[in-house]
Structure 1
Amino acid sequence: MNPTNMLLLTIDPVAAASAPMSGEEMILLTLSIMLLIGTLLIGVVAVYLMLILQKALVGTQPVVEKSVDTRPLWMRFADLQPLSHEKDLVLEHSYDGITELDNPTPTWFMGLFYGTIGVAVVYMLVFHVFKVGDLQLKEYTDEVAIAEVAREAYIAKVAGNINENTVAYVKDTKALDEGKGLYTQHCVACHGAEGQGGVGPNLTDDYWLHGNTIKNVYRTISEGVTEKGMLSWKRQLNPLQMQQVASYVLSLHGSSPPNPKEPQGEKASNETVATR
């Protein structure tokens, strides 16, 4: 257990009671506390010595009357000097006649710089030490989980109880149009725009490799055919969409597309084709 976790256990009595510290952990905790206290004491002593040294140096220097700053407010804010003061800012060294001005870094820029350091410290404490907030990866994981729940709810609402055993052939024009759109988007590359076949088999003849009923076609779309190179579409399409695609595929039977692929598989009986 690291020192940070041990400090957290001392803050939370329930956690401390449930996970008692061993002797080694107690030693580490004691050393950590002593190191923290020692660091704070060193810092306080250093600041005190700096104040004493500053007073001593100020006391040995002659008092010089400060000149009145006549720069406009915007120039003072940006730590800019007027052009007339340029000769007072030139540094001693030069390179091929090129001189450098001793312009300080603007106050606003230093404020931003130290502000980013402060933000980084707060971020580290909140997200990595005390773990109050969630990191981006955790937020992404949570959002994906919420989206998955919403997706499942949508599928359950729209698709109902459609599965391999309950799927039915749909004949209405709207459902077939939806199936055609999905077929065009996902299936044309292998089966052709009109089902004539290509890499995949011809879908318009009487011959079928994996059965020609709506349940057979639905299962083929859902599970895929690994040995033939066909992907499983159940992760990309919900049950309703697979039913629509399967119905559209069966609606292509008997059409006469150009350049049909040679028959593959077993010829379906007329009764099976009629009942689907």
Structure 2
Amino acid sequence: MKVLGAGDNVVDQYIHTGMMYPGGNALNFSVYAKQLGAHAAYMGVFGDDRAARHIQDVLTQLGIDISRCRSHPGENGYAQVNLVDGDRVFVGGNKGGVQHDHPLRLDGDDLQYMKQFELIHSSCYSDLGTAELAKIQSTGIPLSYDFSSDWDPRELEERCPYVFCSLLSCGHLDDSEVQETLRLAHRSGSPLALATMGSRGAVLYDGERFYRQEPHKVVPVDTLGAGDAFFTAFILHYLSGKKEQQDDGTLLPSSLAAAAQFAAQACLCDGAFGHGIAL
């Protein structure tokens, strides 16, 4: 599999430990895909500060292609994480840093580059408007998209027509609300719609039925990135099975099971995937 994460990158600044770790939905996808054996690349926008250099050094060390990334003077994106009543919670950030003022805008060379991949993944934090999603769709390469928990029905209706698989964080919804949300994403254009719900597991909808996956139980070191890990393992397992024509009706359940196992493993290191340095 050859896959591309296109969009956000940040450093997650852990205020309570004085450490920072590479992260971001699109970037995490690329790193987790590489861990799972895929050929992975990342396309995004970097600042020119210490945080940006650290992320670039880590991606180069991991063997992830960053040749189509942009850099601009200024502060790289960061998110601040603190320990509140025993739970790690996001408490601040700079809204993408330089990416906010210099968002990724795809040109002809970018689109030609994208055609070598089998999946492109982006997110709601990537500052990609529907015009950019339409450009990606024009390449013929399927797009997956993480709406996180920052979505409303209008946004799903607007963006799902460009998205092969939608990922939504739905831990704040009850089961009936989760199902209705997934139905809306599917009706709006996404053949697959996947909701992650933290300790309640995940639910997938393919337009015909709902599939439920319980989480694998571990004693977590850090749950940051678990949703990204879950999705990456799910979509790679699913697309690999389709590519090898192994879909006998069990591919979606087995892909969800593989996702739960990988997400549990991702909870056993600090940050999304380690590689922390002092703030």
TM range (shorter): under 0.3
The structure richer in strand per residue is 2
Q: Which structure has greater helix proportion?
A: 1
Task: Please give the TM-score of this superposition, normalised by the length of structure 2.
Answer: 0.17
Structure with the bigger RCO (C-alpha within 8 Å, sep 6+) is 2
